[in-house]
């Protein structure tokens, strides 16, 4: 484009790369923590013990009802105030990266718990009963029989949530972290070429998220036995590449 200085991107490559590394680090930690604690929350919500299911349900419903950015604010700005109110001593401010990590894990755990709970409920009830008949206890049945099948059913939707998580990493700008978007914004302000850098960030996010969404679609097709049987039947009856709609 005329008037655009794309050389500013190369000139700030080190800053942009550092920002991308921070975004990826935040993404990986939040994804792992969200799935781990989300699994525990899902199992607690499905528990027959109300002392586990009620608090878990309350936590999930609360976190899913507030804006993501508010969760980050809570830990960054309110934690010192709460510490002072409870202990009477001045609380130390939580670092921006720590507050972002805690907020992201907390929010992702709430969302993944619902995904995992639905995945567990999608496993036929006969599966855990068969495990109990073989002498397994509850935790063994969940770990060796139910959860492996549930996670297999959940892979596409979990990857979709992971894409959303990667996009949401840009929200950490509110606590001053220089993630990929924050680094590009800072470099753009210093160089006076913020439009080029914003466009570059948008292109990078588009490539990563669009590629990941295509991967999710491929996984959905490969893991759907009904669709696979329909495709094989169509190929067998009509041959590959034939138009079966009746139109010319």
The pLDDT, as a whole number, for residue 174 is 81
The per-residue pLDDT for 231 is: 36
In terms of Cα–Cα distance, which of 200, 220, 197 is closest to 208?
Answer: 200
Alpha-carbon dihedral sign for residues 22, 24, 25, 27: positive
Q: What pLDDT, on the 0 to 100 scale, is given for residue 125?
A: 83
* Per-residue confidence (pLDDT) for residue 81, from 0 to 100: 72
* pLDDT attached to residue 6: 78
Spans of the chain below 50 pLDDT: 1, 227-248
- Two tokens, residue 157: 């939707």
Secondary structure (H, E, C), the chain: CCCCCCHHHHHCHHHHHHHHHHHHHHHHHHHHHHHHHHHHHHHHHCCCCHHHHHHHHHHHHHHCCCCHHHHHHHHHHHHHHHHHHHHCCCCCCCCHHHHHHHHHHHHHHHHHHHHHHHHHHHCCCHHHHHHHHCCCCHHHHHHHHHHHHHHHHHHHHHHHHHHHHHHHHHHHHHHCCCCHHHHHHHHHHHHCCHHHHHHHHHHHHHHHHHHHHHHHHHHHHHHCHHHHHHHHHHHHHHCCCCCCCCCC
**Span 9-238: which CATH code?**
1.10.3720.10
Q: What is the pLDDT of residue 112?
A: 94
Q: What is the pLDDT of residue 230?
A: 41
Residue 55: per-residue pLDDT: 93
Contact (CB, 8 A) for 92 and 124 = no
């Amino acid at each position: 484009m005329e008037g655009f200085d794309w050389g500013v991107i190369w000139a700030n490559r080190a800053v942009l790369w550092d920002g991308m590394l921070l975004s990826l680090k935040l993404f990986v930690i939040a994804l792992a923590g969200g799935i781990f604690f989300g699994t525990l929350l899902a199992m607690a919500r499905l528990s027959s013990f109300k002392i586990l299911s009620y608090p878990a349900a309350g936590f999930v419903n609360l976190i899913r009802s507030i804006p993501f950015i508010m969760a980050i604010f809570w830990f960054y700005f309110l934690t010192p105030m709460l510490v002072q109110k409870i202990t009477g001593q001045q609380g130390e401010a939580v670092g921006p990266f720590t507050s972002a990590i805690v907020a992201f894990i907390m929010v992702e755990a709430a969302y993944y718990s619902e995904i995992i709970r639905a995945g567990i409920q999608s496993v036929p009830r006969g599966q855990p009963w068969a495990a109990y008949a073989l002498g397994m206890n509850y935790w063994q049945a969940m770990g060796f029989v139910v959860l492996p099948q549930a996670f297999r059913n959940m892979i596409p939707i979990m990857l979709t949530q992971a894409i959303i998580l990667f996009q949401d990493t840009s929200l950490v700008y509110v606590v001053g972290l220089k993630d990929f978007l924050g680094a590009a914004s800072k470099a753009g302000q210093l160089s006076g070429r913020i439009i080029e850098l914003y466009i570059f960030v948008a292109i990078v996010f588009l490539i990563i998220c669009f590629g990941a969404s295509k991967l999710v679609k491929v996984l959905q097709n490969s893991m759907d036995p009904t669709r696979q049987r329909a495709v094989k039947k169509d190929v067998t009856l009509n041959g590959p590449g034939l138009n079966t709609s009746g139109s010319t």
